[in-house]
Amino acid sequence: MDLYPLLFTPVLKDYIWGGRNLETKLGRPLPPGIIAESWEIAAHPDGESVVENGRFAGQTLTALHQQLGLALIGSHNEWAQQRQKFPLLIKLLDANDALSVQVHPNDDYALANEGNELGKTEMWVVLQAEPDAAVILGLSRQTTAAEFRAAVQAGNLDAFLHRLPVRAGDVVCVPSGSLHAILSGLLIAEIQQNSNTTYRVFDWNRSKDGQTRPLHIDKALDVINFNQVQPDLCRPALVAETDGVRRFRLCHNNYFVTERVELAAGAVYNGICDGRSLEIWGVVDGSAAINDVGLTAVRFALLPAALGRFAVTNPANSPATLLRTYVAA
């Protein structure tokens, strides 16, 4: 099977909190107007990225998955194959303004209440941050659903929100059930389950074209993890260091593992996609080549599970930093 690292044309979203920073700070060509999200690798009814290189060029990721099956996503994603659903969704976010305070359900709640949609566990890697940038993650103190509902109704929610200062390079793991918000002044790479289910708790009293966005208080209260009090940022753990390659584990959950891979000038990481899992690699600083497919920051490539051996090379005279995501057993 003639498989190769796949590049995609992303899907752009114009949500109210976006800006132009994907263009001004990352050098992305953008259409006019506000751009909040770039769905880099996506196979969802709300957005389909399209292959732009090689013999599969022009195909949507969903069509390619239907054609290749487990050769694309791997045996560790057999559950996703049974559902005919690509397992992951990769985004870039321009939080020019604050996102809503929100929560995502787990799979069981989503499937019971949102049709065929799954829940959402996600993680964020901060690419760029303005001074004093922060995120909301979890609760600032112990509370109950009833007390939290009363605070929402009274407009006193801020006292319950746990704010974490962040800077470039920081990592935030966001399990389903986490009350959270990305606040203004952040560019973020997001890795998540392939879902678009969001329950908004508070949207900063703003509107677009005179219309406020809907809130989902009842569902949010059903799924918020009220035991998640003052969580911290994720602390990267060194996995391996050899021949100019350093790997740090950033986030490990039931749906994906993400590593930061640092390549010194001229270094090579040799890997293998042996049929068990796809791999998604993204350059977030510098440049690299995966086999003969070149990447510069910030760009992602999908390596099919049955690709076989591959090499990630840093041909430059300066270091490169990449994100590597795969699915463990």
| Domain extents in the chain | 8-223, 237-326
Q: Fold identical between 8-223 and 237-326?
A: yes
Q: Which CATH number fits domain 8-223: 2.60.120.10, 3.40.50.970, 2.40.10.10, 3.40.140.80?
A: 2.60.120.10
CA 44, 48, 54, 56 dihedral sign is positive
In total, the chain counts a number of residues equal to 329
Of 121, 138, 127, 52, residue with least CA distance to 94: 127
Partnered with residue 246 across adjacent β-strands are 241, 262
Give me the pLDDT at residue 211, please.
83
pLDDT the model gives residue 313:
97
Angle at 135 between CA 130 and CA 140, to 5 degrees: 140
pLDDT reported for residue 128:
98
Tokens representing residue 234 in the block: 């994720």
- Give the pLDDT of residue 107: 96
DSSP 8-class letter at 6: B
Q: How far apart are CA 273 and CA 276, in angstroms?
A: 7
Q: Cite the active site residues.
A: 200
> How high is the pLDDT of residue 121?
98
Burial 277-307 (b: 16+ CB within 10 A, else e): bbbbbbbbbbbbbbbebbbebbbbbbbbbbb
Instruction: For domain 237-326, give the CATH number.
Output: 2.60.120.10
The radius of gyration of the chain's CA atoms, rounded to the nearest angstrom, is: 20
Average pLDDT along the chain, 329 residues, taken 10 residues at a time: 94 97 96 97 97 97 97 96 95 97 97 94 98 98 96 91 98 98 98 97 85 92 98 96 97 97 97 98 97 96 98 94 96
What's the confidence (pLDDT) of residue 149? 96
113 φψ region: left (φ > 0), alpha (ψ -120 to 50), beta (else): alpha
How much is the pTM?
0.96
Closest to 205 (Cα-Cα) out of 285, 100, 296: 100
